[in-house]
Amino acid sequence: MKLKKQVTVCGAAIFCVAVFSLYLMLDRVQHDPTRHQSGGNFPRSQISVLQNRIEQLEQLLEENHEIISHIKDSVLELTAHAEGQPALPQHPLNGSWVLPPENRPSFLSVSPQDCQFALGGKGQSPDLQMLAVYSLLPFDNQDGGVWKQGFDITYEPNEWDTEPLQVFVVPHSHNDPGWIKTFDKYYYDQTQHILNSMVLKMQEDPRRRFIWSEISFFSKWWDNISAQKRAAVRRLVGNGQLEMVTGGWVMADEANSHYFAMIDQLIEGHQWLEKNIGVTPRSGWAVDPFGYSSTMPYLLKRSNLTAMLIQRVHYAIKKHFAATQNLEFMWRQTWDPDTSTDILCHMMPFYSYDVPHTCGPDPKICCQFDFKRLPGGRINCPWKVPPRAITDANVAERAQLLLDQYRKKSKLYRSKVLLVPLGDDFRYDKPQEWDAQFLNYQRIFDFLNSRPDLHVQAQFGTLSDYFDALYKKVGIVPGMRPPGFPVLTGDFFSYADREDHYWTGYFTSRPFYKSLDRVLEAHLRGAEILYSLALAHSRRAGADGRYPLSDYALLTNARRNLGLFQHHDAIAGTAKEAVAVDYGVRLLQSLTNLKRVIINAAHYLVLGDKDTYRHDPAAPFLGMDETRSSQDSLPERTVVKLGTSPRFLVVFNPLEQERLSVVPVLVDSPHVRVLSEEGQPLPSQLSAVWNSATDAVPNVYQVSVLARLPALGLRVLQLHKALDGHATPRSSTRLYLHGRDVPVHKPEALPLHVFPAAADDFCLENQHLQACFLGHTGLLQSLRPAGEEQAHRVSSEFLVYGTRTSKDKSGAYLFLPDGEAKPYAPKDPPVVRVMEGPLYSEVASYYQHVQTVVRLYNVPGVEGLSLDVSCLVDIRDHINKELALRFSTDIESDDTFFTDLNGFQIQPRRYQRKLPLQANFYPMPAMAYIQDMQSRLTLLTAQALGVSSLLSGQLEVILDRRLMQDDNRGLGQGLKDNKRTCNRFRLLLERRSTANKSSGFFSKLVSMFKALSFPGTRTGSPEVQDERPISFPSLLSHITSVHQNAEALVMPVALEKPALPALRSFVPLATTLPCDFHILNLRTLQAEDDSLPSAEAALILHRKGFDCSLEAKNLGFNCTTSQGKLALGGLFQGLELGSLQPTSLTLMYPLGTASNSTNIHLDPMEIATFRIRLG
The helix/strand/coil state of 188 is helix
Burial zone of 169 (CB within 10 Å; 0-12 exposed, 13-18 middle, 19+ buried): buried
Q: Give the span between the Cα atoms of 32 and 835, in whole angstroms.
A: 58
In angstroms, the CA 469 to CA 471 distance is 5
Contact 496, 314 (CB under 8 A): yes
What DSSP character marks residue 727? Answer: P
Beta bridge pairs of residue 840: 857
**Is the CB of residue 794 less than 8 Å from the CB of residue 780?**
yes
Please give the backbone phi and psi of residue 968, each rounded to the nearest 5 degrees, phi first: 60, 40
**Helix (H/G/I), strand (E/B), else coil: 454:** helix
Element (H, E) at 744: none
Identify the CA nearest to 409 among candidates 128, 147, 145: 147
Q: Residue 703 in contact with residue 681, Cβ under 8 Å? A: no
Q: How far is Cα 572 from Cα 970, in angstroms, rounded to an integer?
A: 14
Find the angle CA(649)-CA(650)-CA(654) to the nearest 5 degrees: 140
- Burial readout 683-703 (b: 16 or more C-beta within 10 A, e: otherwise): bbbbbbbbeebbebbeebbbb
The DSSP secondary-structure symbol of 126 reads P
- Computed on alpha carbons and rounded to an integer, the radius of gyration of the chain in Å comes to 31
- Virtual CA dihedral for 1110, 1114, 1120, 1123, nearest 10 degrees? 0
Q: Which of 114, 253, 288, 632 is catalytic?
A: 288
Q: Quick check: is 288 catalytic? A: yes
Interatomic CA distance for residues 576 and 562, integer angstroms: 19
DSSP letter string, 301-356 = HHTT--EEEE----HHHHHHHHHTT-SEEEE--TT-SSSTT-EEEEE--SS-SSGG
Cβ contacts of 490 within 8 Å, gap of 6 or more = 128, 129, 130, 131, 133, 294, 334, 907, 1029
Alpha-carbon distances, residue 920 vs 315, 505, 675, 802, 956 (angstroms): 16, 11, 51, 17, 11
Contact by Cβ (8 Å): 1163, 1101: no
Contact of 987 with 871, CB cutoff 8 Å: no
Annotate 310-325 with b (16+ C-beta within 10 A) or e (fewer): bbbbbbbbbbbbbeee
Specify whether the CB–CB gap between 246 and 213 falls below 8 A.
Answer: yes
Indicate which residues carry an active-site annotation. 288
